[in-house]
Amino acid sequence: MAAPYSPSPSPSHPTAAALVLLLLLLHVALLGKCAAAANVTFRPGEELRRYRRVQALLTRLNKPSLRTIQSPDGDLIDCVPAHLQPAFDYPRLRGQRPLGPPVRPSGHHRRPNHTADVGVQLWAVSGASCPEGSVPVRRITEADVLRASSVRRFGRVPMARVRRDTVAGGHEHAVGYVAGDEYYGARASINVWAPKVSTPTEFSLSQIWVIGGTFGNDLNTIEAGWQVSPQLYGDNSPRFFTYWTTDAYQTTGCYNLLCSGFVQTNSRIAMGAAISPTSGYKGGQFDISLLIWKDPNHGNWWLEFGSGELVGYWPSFLFSHLASHASMVQFGGEVVDTRAEGSHTATQMGSGHFPGEGFGRSSYFRNLEVVDWDNSLIPLTTFHVTADHPNCYDIQGGVNAVWGNYFYYGGPGRNVRCT
């Protein structure tokens, strides 16, 4: 958008922008002196360029809002007009507005007043909400961006996540999966924990992956679940998140709304916001239910949270393989192990306890289902479970009349058998 014309100021009266730039240069000079005193190489020009890149990114991500809500955990939630959200920066979405509700899969029963298994987002605990026609967007701060490895990689996962059939780049998994058919979605209920994460550059998550392509450069994924990531969010709270990529995490896709693509339609759920309450060891257990499916009418991939809350959709044109269907669905946990202390990380997966401890102690996925070609939810067949390092994080599956297909998973990471 072009700025309006502004007359030139008198030379004797510097503008506010000039004063800001002067203060920034003085700040850079001071940092340079401090760095010299500490015998550290400092490049003021590079710092200034980085500062400008950070500010440009914040301007692009933080859209004008109708209302701002202060969350108890310090987050600011901006109520952004739905047609101004980051999705509509995408070239093929510019000038459009969010689509109406899709056709839900048959066999899906909504429970609009049932909240016992949904969990609550902290920002909405006080009863605050966004006006109709707007969507809640977690505001991104300069500190958020500066925690990333680079401005360019902010909001993206390390590319080493590409392979799930090996332990690559320190990413370890305990997952259940189905493969060998055409899949049009998946559903599960996941209990939420607050696992310990040992260092800021590690994370622990539990999610659903909807996958197309191979585990090479053509990998397509749609992902949703909960995650503890100090580097991304600045704390150790479990947060509701989404992700997508169409080229194996290389240049496309991002978390939540940190790039254009995912179209949010919900005014009550904020992606990237903290979930509360969480499950307790030998205490109450709290689920979030997630459903991802491909709308048979328009072909877009929709996300539902809880018992009927449509969050939004990924347009089908974002993808290559997933433009038609998925070839694999995975459910489970993932941890990053940086071996920062020279041994296996103590970052926990799930509850931090092994699956053998069972209900109330171990983390679980229950009521696993997939969506078939006829837009129907069906039980899993030929379901497999696998763990990269079962001495660190393990998984045990089962089937019963109440939970259908389910599994317990997770672990403490470093222990006497995991070094």
Q: Write out the catalytic residue numbers.
A: 223, 334
The end-to-end CA distance of the chain, in Å, is 55
Instruction: Beginning with the edge strand found earlier in the chain, give each strand of the sheet holding 76-81 in spatial order.
Output: 67-70, 76-81, 134-138
Both tokens assigned to 272: 């990237």
Instruction: Give the integer Cα–Cα distance in Å for 272 and 257.
Output: 9
Q: What angle do CA 154, 193, 205 make, to 5 degrees?
A: 35
Contact 58, 142 (CB under 8 A): yes
SS (H, E, C) 87-121: HHHCHHHCCCCCCCCCCCCECCCCCCCCCCCCCEE
User: What are the angstrom distances between the C-alpha of 94 and each of 47, 183, 267?
Assistant: 33, 30, 21
State how far Cα 235 lies from the chain centre. Answer: 14
* Cβ neighbours of 11 (radius 10 Å): 6
Instruction: Give the integer Cα–Cα distance in Å for 209 and 211.
Output: 6
Both tokens assigned to 110: 């909504």
Contact 262, 270 (CB under 8 A): no
- According to DSSP, residue 91 is labeled G
* Cβ neighbours of 124 (radius 10 Å): 19
